[in-house]
Amino acid sequence: MAAARWVDFAGQSILHTLVAALVIEALVRLWRVRQPEQRTGFRLLALAWPLLVVPALFFGFPERSDEAFQDARALFAARRWDELTLLGAGLDAWWLAGMVLLGVALFLMDLVPLLRSRAPLPPPFPLEAAAGAPARAREALAEAALALSLRAPPLAFVPEGPPLFYCTGARRPTVVVSRQAVDLLDPAELRCAFAHELSHLERRDPVLGWALMGARALLWFNPVVQILVRALARDSERLADERAALATGDRLALASGLLKLYRASEGRYALPARRNLPLSAALAAPIARARAHDIGLRCRALLDPAPARVRLSAFRFVALAAGLFLLLFFVV
């Protein structure tokens, strides 16, 4: 395929994802879709757009690339912006170049720290023999697993360093916890935090995380995809919060544990790794603010009762997908 076709493809991919994501975000708010699982479903539609629908439209309907279609039938043709020039290049070319740069920056900002942080974990031990882990951590994990009707996964205990509390492993799911995190949380908070991590493992979120990273790598040029995946990651956290709160019945303990862990870790460990990337210094502060905002939203959501599901969600989903297809067919 000629280079110009690839440029067209990239332009349409970005534009379609942007429109789809904005429409979906508007509807999620207007339809009051607050339940995280339902939100994830709608946002996955926006992510599916550049992965499945744009290639299908681009290669399945080649007449959309014709001048005749763009001039007479298209609702929006990006080519028209190339008729306005700045420093010898069309505005469409400038827009595309700016978006691609932003996409690459957002992708690298997560990829590089991820690759750098792949330090080997302590070997996971079966629950009965999690050497060195305090008894109350093992008990809390067992209680959380019981509450969720799951088998307790191996626990990796990190005796030193910053407060850590996460799950990992696509093939061998493991919960990682550090001494500082265990010391920080009271028994109820510890049980809720384990329930949160077990909810991730129950939904196979580590696998989903790698799949989403693959989607980001495939669409590295698309900044909207990079932002969408972050939104999906936030939804996944909210979903695990709700599942853990339902299982343990203690929303407040989960909120306070979350807040304690955030306050103990944020700003001290995450930011320095990012400063080696282009634009990272400029973007680090807004990202930290966004993370603080997100933690605030999660805590506030936990202070409220569990959100209700909106009705007719399958009907809404199908109507939205059909409407978007009709609209974006005429956007080239």
Partner 1 sequence: MRAGALGRALGEGAGALWTLALVLGGAAAMLSGLDALPGWLRGEPRGVRRVASVDEAERIMRSRILLPSYFPDSYRWPPSSIRVWREGGGAVALAFDARDGSPALLLAETVSGTGALTAPLLPDSAVIQKQGAALGEGATLSRIVSEDGTLWNELEWTAAGRRFVLRGRGPLDVLMRMARSIHGAGR
Which residues sit at the interface with partner 1, rule CB under 8 A?
19, 22-23, 26-27, 30-31, 67-68, 71-72, 74-77, 80-81, 83-84, 91, 311-312, 315-316, 319-320, 323-324, 326-327, 331
Taking the complex as a whole, the smallest distance from the CB of residue 323 to partner 1 amounts, in Å, to: 5
Q: What angle do CA 271, 274, 278 make, to 5 degrees?
A: 140
Taking the complex as a whole, the smallest distance from the CB of residue 97 to partner 1 amounts, in Å, to: 18
Euclidean distance between CA atoms 79 and 70, whole angstroms: 8
The count of C-alpha atoms lying within 13 angstroms of the C-alpha of 310, restricted to the half-sphere facing its C-beta, is 21
Taking the complex as a whole, the smallest distance from the CB of residue 23 to partner 1 amounts, in Å, to: 5
**In what helix (H) or strand (E) does residue 21 lie, and over which residues does it extend?**
helix 3-30
Comparing CB distances to partner 1, the nearer of 83 and 128 is 83
Residue 162 · residue 180 · CB < 8 Å: yes
Taking the complex as a whole, the smallest distance from the CB of residue 228 to partner 1 amounts, in Å, to: 17
Comparing CB distances to partner 1, the nearer of 90 and 122 is 90
Q: Which residues pair with 237 in a beta bridge?
A: none
Euclidean distance between CA atoms 17 and 15, whole angstroms: 5
Taking the complex as a whole, the smallest distance from the CB of residue 138 to partner 1 amounts, in Å, to: 48
Beta strands, E only, the chain: 85-86, 89-90, 155-158, 165-168, 174-178
Torsional sign, CA 281, 282, 287, 290: positive
Comparing CB distances to partner 1, the nearer of 54 and 144 is 54
Antiparallel, parallel or unpaired: β 85-86 and 155-158: unpaired
Euclidean distance between CA atoms 81 and 242, whole angstroms: 46
Comparing CB distances to partner 1, the nearer of 166 and 317 is 317
Taking the complex as a whole, the smallest distance from the CB of residue 42 to partner 1 amounts, in Å, to: 12
Q: What are phi and psi of 25, to 5 degrees?
A: -65, -40
Comparing CB distances to partner 1, the nearer of 1 and 72 is 72
Taking the complex as a whole, the smallest distance from the CB of residue 195 to partner 1 amounts, in Å, to: 33
Comparing CB distances to partner 1, the nearer of 22 and 129 is 22
Comparing CB distances to partner 1, the nearer of 84 and 129 is 84
Q: Which amino acid belongs to residue 33?
A: V
